[in-house]
Structure 1
Amino acid sequence: MRNTFLALLLFFSLQSTAQQTPYERSNKKETTTYNAAIAYYETLAKTYPKAKLLTYGSTDFGKPLHLLVLSSDKVFDPAVIRKNNKRILLINNGIHPGEPEGIDASMMLARDLLKGDKIPKNVVVCIIPIYNIDGSFNRRGTSRANQNGPIAYGFRGNSKNLDLNRDFIKTDSKNSAAFQLIFNTWQPEIFVDTHTSNGADYQYVMTLIPTQKDKLNSILSTYLTKTLVPDLYRGMEKKGYAMVPYVNSIGQTPETGITGFIESPRYSTGYTTLHNTIGFMPETHMLKSFDLRVDATYKLLQTYVDVVERDANLIGENKRKADEFVTKQKEFPLEWALNKNLGDSIPFKGFEAGKKPSELSGFDRLYYDRNKPFTKYIKQWNNFEPSVSIQKPVAYIIPKAWDKAIALLKLNNVKVEQLEADVKLNVETYYIGDFKTGTRPYEGHYVHSTVKVNPVKQTLQYYAGDYVVYTNQVSNRYIIETLEPQATDSYFNWNFFDSILDMKEHYSAYIFEDTAAELLKNNPALKAKLYEKKAADTVFTKNGSAQLEFVYKNSDYYEKTHNRYPVARLLSNVKLNLK
């Protein structure tokens, strides 16, 4: 009898140990490796029928992205799940593998939901174990110089040295394409992307970046600001982790005030906003011990599950209304600016900052005194207003040559149609009037900004197979913020169309001088335009080459496609012959 008891005790002890994560087995000092994480999730999926481990696409490292799905009724088809009116919560981990708390917290969360049979009835929980697989293999313990553990961790860049949290529009990595496939297949209502912060020292373990409230659809924004965020704060306070907004200081220390984070679509939560999904970036504090950071992340993820389960019907209805609204929306903001005149105050638990001589240089350096904690109110500015807006066209016309843009539109559930036959269409086109370009590469690109366009109405020839994208879709925000060149993260700004900025033909000046003289003789309007320019611009008057160039660019010899943005706007609802 005693032997039987000991055998059973050993069996259950081994079972318990087998379900421990690598993080737990390391006495909470190490983060799991990629191979160990996937093996752990494979075991969970084999052990529990309510879990399924799926793979999508590939990554630059040659491995697919995994997605663990937890479903109380064992339904793993996203279309059926949506038909059954269930909410989908998507948790993304390891976009920066040196910030690994979510990787380990999600493993424990999945196990505990399965083991305790606590998967909510109205919510399907989806977990990407490690998004930046490439960076997770580049493992060491020194790349994040200021971070307090774990012993070793992955690297921020992927195998192409890309920061994947800048790649959600340009999609230079296969990782991004695989993520977008997951996102647009599952269409989550709530998205959480786990991170670790850098910056000032303060008392909080967890800070939070919600989707920027002013950029989010107003229906969703009201729920976010009035219900979801306050309840997350209250829930975490009860669990021992008071939170504060992400500490984006305007000065050297938080007491100078903080501003909200304006995430453009290159970032994960900026991208999800384009699809009317409420997104979050929880940022644990790098200076707190790793075990506290993992525990805080675990408890926050639990809180998300609880709140989404509680509000499942409301969240679904809000998303439905927001999608319906955006299909009919006429005006769309493209760029945003912080309103510096509109702020408020929030309580903040910090440490007193001071200056002391640097042991390295002898000059004064900043330090925080953890023996002098304080609670005080600090200023917060978190109101953003549109600085550039446009009226949507009926549709965009895209020549079929621009295949990367078309492929990304399709990946994002944008309905694209094709012309059946060649046709001439009256459209509005943009000529790129001015723009700025970075002097150094950023994420593999010389990014454009501050784009000015000159709209011109033209009749252009289009051909069978060219694409038509109507703006009566749920994906309108994605369509407009990628195809309008003035938008912060437009395809144009990410260099998709740079070839149109080059002239392909020109002239020999000594020959074109005679042609120009003939043009001025036969075209009084052009001659008047030239003399008007000379009268208004004394520098131009003294520059013969500039005058010759002026005549050329105002003649039929000048190529009409130079600086003409290739995506045209169809302004009238004409009947098109579509495939």
Structure 2
Amino acid sequence: MCNFKKTLLTIIMGSFTMITVAQDFLPETLPWNGKSKSLIASPTDPWVTPGELTGLTESPSYEETMAWLEKLDENSPYITMIPIGLSEQGRAIQMLIVSKNQEFTADEIARSKKPLILFQAGIHAGEIDGKDAGMMLLRDINQGEKLELLDEANLLFIPILNVDGHERKSEYGRVNQRGPKIMGWRTNAVNLNLNRDYTKLETAGIKAVAKVINDYDPDLYIDIHVTDGADYQYDVTYGFVETGGYSPEISSWLSTQFKPEVDQALKDHGHIPGPLLFAANGQDFSEGNVAFSFSPRFSHTYGDIRHLPAILIENHSLKPFEQRVLGTYVFLEQAIKSVGDHFESLQNAVESDSDQSMESVVVKYGFRETPADSMEFLGIKSEKITSALTGNEYVSWQAEPITQQVPSILMDRPVSSVPVPKAYWIPSEWKEVIQKMKEHGIQMEVLEEAKELNLEYSTVTDYRMVSQPYEGKMRFQSFDLAKKYRKLTLQPGSVRVKTDQPLGELAVILLEPESVDSFFQWGYFNTILSQTEYMETYVMEPMIQSMLDQDPALKTRFEEELAKDEAFAKSPRRIYRWFYEQTPYIDQNWKVIPVGREW
């Protein structure tokens, strides 16, 4: 081999070696020796999990996970594992049903007097803590000394939701996360983010979850993630919609009855629980923590609008995998106990939120004009360093715990709301939208014969699209709307969606165009923006003259347009367009959003 080739190979291999140890550049972690380490099974235990055999430095593959869970299923009368969907690449999405009374069907569980808890792992497949924690917890319930937990609740456990992303695994999955050694990928096989899909329902995983929620009607829903971002002392951060949501009584229950008990259990086991954390300046918390108002495309806010108590766990990515898994175990175990102990009050909260009056629905929240009270923040000391390479200033974490008082910036101020009609009508030709409404579990009446109706519709008067797709969709950057009544004949198969139903708020969020997660803003009605018929100028010129001669009021309006808009007056194209829109030849459906409101 020539010297040049040897040199090139040395450079390439050197670069590769640097990449393979990229996690060595993560900030130094704080020492930890929590009580929860006692939860790890001995390597000689016949039910030790594959992850425990590695000292919780690795997590098993899809095949290894399912084989271990199938064995647990076969050896316990209290577990059954069922497929709830098929991934884009054809893998089964499995769910375990755990019941001491062996109530394994949706009907049996519905008749049970016990609460039902649904927890899922791997919606972002690299963030897999919940899978290993769930395996350990189910082992201890079914083969250990914690069977009494099933006196408190029945359980549904989805160990890997994004199964295809889980199997797109390598040592290069999540460079900002401290383990496991091999990690899966954030998105699914067609590069869609499942935790942006709860309203549009495009992924096999979230369609499966929606069906589980509709079929089994859980009393608590827990979605387990791992964070990105800054360093701090907290190892288990989690949140729910505390203010600015659609289920205030559920929020109160989670804040006052659930959270204090879970926090105490975590502290007792050597963990540091905290709220969801988002640095206001994107780097450190010197300028405060932002409590965002998530839209219902996310799991816990989707639960909130359904009046389903829902929690988002975000374990801290810079803490070791072992510490995060054990913290998740403690969280889930205490969640079972707390829901069992306070089930009656939880049911009352759900019933109260489900029965609240609904004259209008908030479709957009903004930040408060001034920050809320400051919060005590358990941070990590940092310093800002100017890069010699780029000149950019970046944060360097120093592995030294500090306590700060930082502003708590809340995004719970209602900015925009819409009045709620008696019902919505969706024409039969918009089958994809109708199907998605069904998959959400929204009640609908289906027309069996054609019917003429006079309904209110929104028309897009002006709009601008984003320059790049988001989650595969071309969304709106901005738009203006006008409302007017139209008399139309809807064909058989069209549906009426009444708003006085359990998922009435969700129907409003999906169908009102002002909602950021409406089908309109997600782009499902974009074809209405295309004009398909035009009028030639040799027809327009004589027709315009005739229109002006016959209609003095039209002539006055035209002269007013010329006077107030110089650009309009100088644009033959816009003048022709203006007159065309005054004629009955213009497409009456152009830019009309095909969702009618019945008042």
TM-score range, shorter chain: over 0.9
User: SS at 2:160's partner residue?
Assistant: coil
CA contact (8 A) 2:303 2:310 kept: yes
Q: Which residue of 2 aligns with 1:319?
A: 350
Moved more, 516-525 or 392-401: 516-525
Q: Which moved more, 1:381-390 or 1:208-217?
A: 208-217
TM-score, normalised to structure 2's length? 0.89
The letter of the residue matching 1:256 is: E
Per-residue deviation, 1:34: 1.0
Preserved CA contact (<8 Å) 1:205 1:241:
yes
1:424-479 residue CA offsets vs partner (Å, 9 max, x unmatched): 21111110133442211111112225443211022222222211111111011211
Could you tell me how far apart the structure 2 residues matched to 1:488 and 1:111 are?
A: 42
| 1:283 paired residue number | 314
For 2:34, the equivalent position in structure 1 comes to none
Change (3 A) 1:302 1:512: same
The alpha-carbon deviation at position 543 of structure 1 amounts to 2.2
- The equivalent of 2:395 in structure 1 is 366
Q: Does 1:140 align with 2:147?
A: no
The 5-angstrom pairing of residues 150-161 of structure 1 reads: 150-161=180-191
**DSSP-derived class of the 1:17 partner:** coil
SS of equivalent to 1:379: strand
Residue in 2 that maps onto 1:268: 299
1:574 equivalent in structure 2: none
Q: Note the residue ranges of structure 2 that are not aligned, 5 or more in a row.
A: 1-40
Structure 2 equivalent of residue 377 of structure 1: 405
Counterpart CA distance in 2 for 1:48 and 1:187 is 24
Distance (Å, rounded) in 2 between the aligned partners of 1:528 and 1:314: 66
Q: How far, CA to CA, are the matches of 1:15 and 1:245 in structure 2?
A: 35
CA contact (8 A) 2:114 2:340 kept: no
Q: With structure 1 as the length reference, what TM-score do the two structures score?
A: 0.92
Residue 335 of structure 1 aligns to a residue whose secondary structure is strand
User: Whole-Å Cα distance in 2 between the matches of residues 446 and 257 of structure 1?
Assistant: 33
Matched, 1:458 2:483: no
Q: Tell me the equivalent position of 1:477.
A: 505
Quickly say closer, same or farther: Cα 1:332–1:14, change in 2 above 3 A.
closer
Structure-2 separation of matches of 1:81 and 1:367: 51
Q: Distance in 2 between matches of 1:179 and 1:449?
A: 30
User: Is 1:243 the equivalent of 2:273?
Assistant: yes
Instruction: Say if 1:442 and 1:271 are closer, same or farther in 2 by CA, change over 3 A.
Output: same
Q: After the TM superposition, which of the residue ranges 478-487 and 239-248 deviates more from structure 2?
A: 239-248
State which of 51, 55, 59 in structure 1 corresponds to 2:79: 51
2:276 counterpart letter in structure 1: Y
Structure 1 stretch 394-403 or stretch 531-540: which is displaced more?
Answer: 531-540
- Deviations along 1:497-528, whole A, 9 cap, x unmatched? 11011111111112221122222222333222
Whether 2:423 is the aligned partner of 1:395: answer: yes
Give the distance between the partners of 1:129 and 1:528, measured in 2 at CA: 69
In 2: Cα distance, 1:566 partner to 1:557 partner: 20
Deviation, 1:357, is 4.9
Task: Quote the residue 1:348 is aligned against.
Answer: 377
Cα distance in 2 for partners of 1:27, 1:221 equals 37
Match of 1:167 in 2: 197
Give the SS at the match of 2:151.
Answer: coil
Q: What CA deviation, in whole Å up to 9, does each residue of 1:96-129 have, x standing for no partner? A: 1111111100111111122221333242111101
Partner of residue 124, structure 1 = 154
Secondary structure at 1:120 match in 2: helix
C-alpha distance in 2, partners of 1:321/1:365?
A: 48
1:211 Cα deviation from its structure 2 partner: 2.8
Specify the SS of the correspondent of 1:29: coil
2:62 counterpart of 1:34: yes
1:471, 1:374 → 2: CA distance?
Answer: 50
1:20 counterpart = 2:48: yes
**Matches of 1:549 and 1:90 in 2, distance apart?**
56
Structure 1 match to 2:462: 434
What does 1:194-273 align with in structure 2 at a 5 Å threshold? 194-251=224-281, 252-273=283-304
In structure 2, C-alpha distance between the alignment counterparts of 1:231 and 1:509, rounded to whole Å: 74
CA-CA distance at 1:378 after TM superposition: 1.5
Percent of residue pairs identical: 27
**How big is the alpha-carbon RMSD for the aligned residues of Structure 1 and Structure 2?**
1.9
CA distance in 1, matches of 2:129, 2:122: 8
Asked if 1:292 is matched to 2:336, the reply is: no
CA distance in 2, matches of 1:95, 1:548: 52
Find out whether 1:302 has 2:367 as its counterpart.
no
Mapped partners of 2:425, 2:335: distance in 1: 41
Alpha-carbon contact 1:139-1:155 (below 8 Å) kept:
yes
1:105 aligns with 2:136: no
SS of the counterpart of 1:118? helix
2:269, 2:464 → 1: CA distance?
A: 48
Which deviates more from structure 2 when the two are superposed, residues 157-166 or residues 508-517? 508-517
- Check the 8 A contact 1:333/1:388 in 2, yes or no: yes
CA contact (8 A) 2:149 2:337 kept: no
- Provide closer, same or farther for how the CA distance between residues 230 and 524 of structure 1 changes in structure 2, counting only shifts above 3 A: farther
Q: Secondary structure, in 3 states, of the residue corresponding to 1:427?
A: strand
2-side partners of 1:226 and 1:487: how far apart? 30
Residue 108 (structure 2) pairs with residue 80 (structure 1): yes
Q: Using the TM superposition, give the Cα deviation of residue 165 of structure 1 relative to its aligned residue in structure 2, in angstroms.
A: 1.0
Q: Does 1:558 align with 2:589?
A: no
Within the candidate set 482, 485, 488, 2:516 is matched to 488
Q: How many residues align?
A: 556
1:469/1:369 CA distance change after superposition, 3 Å: same
Q: Contact 2:371/2:408 (CA < 8 Å) preserved in 1? A: no
Equivalent pair of 1:59/1:178 in contact (CA under 8 Å) = no
Query: 1:336, 1:436 → 2: CA distance?
Result: 22
Give, in angstroms, the shift of residue 193 of structure 1.
Answer: 0.8
Q: CA deviation at 1:290?
A: 1.1
Question: Residue 532 of structure 1 aligns to which amino acid in structure 2?
Answer: E
User: For 1:550-572, what per-residue CA distance to the aligned partner results, in whole angstroms no more than 9, with x for missing partners?
Assistant: 0111221111100000010011x
State the AA in 2 paired with 1:563: K
Q: Assess if the C-alpha contact under 8 Å between 1:70 and 1:119 holds in 2.
A: no
Cα distance, 1:234–1:478 mapped onto 2, change above 3 Å? same
Partner of 1:331: 360
Amino acid across the alignment from 2:474: Y
* Distance in 2, Cα, partners of 1:395 & 1:172: 25
SS in structure 1 at match of 2:575: helix
Q: Residues 419 and 362 (structure 1 numbering): CA distance in 2 closer, same or farther, change over 3 Å?
A: closer
- Please give the secondary structure, in 2, of the residue aligned with 1:494: coil
Distance 1:259 1:243 in 2: 17
Shift of 1:190: 1.3
Q: How far, CA to CA, are the matches of 1:542 and 1:14 in structure 2?
A: 83
Contact 2:174-2:183 at 8 Å conserved across structures = no
How far apart, CA to CA, are the structure 1 residues paired with 2:541 and 2:464?
Answer: 33
1:138 to 1:197, Cα distance in 2 relative to 1, 3 A:
same
Contact 2:279 2:289 survives alignment (8 Å):
yes
Deviation at 1:94, TM superposition (A): 0.4
Give the gaps of 5 or more residues in structure 1: 1-12, 572-579
Q: Is the 8 A contact 2:528 2:591 kept in 1?
A: yes
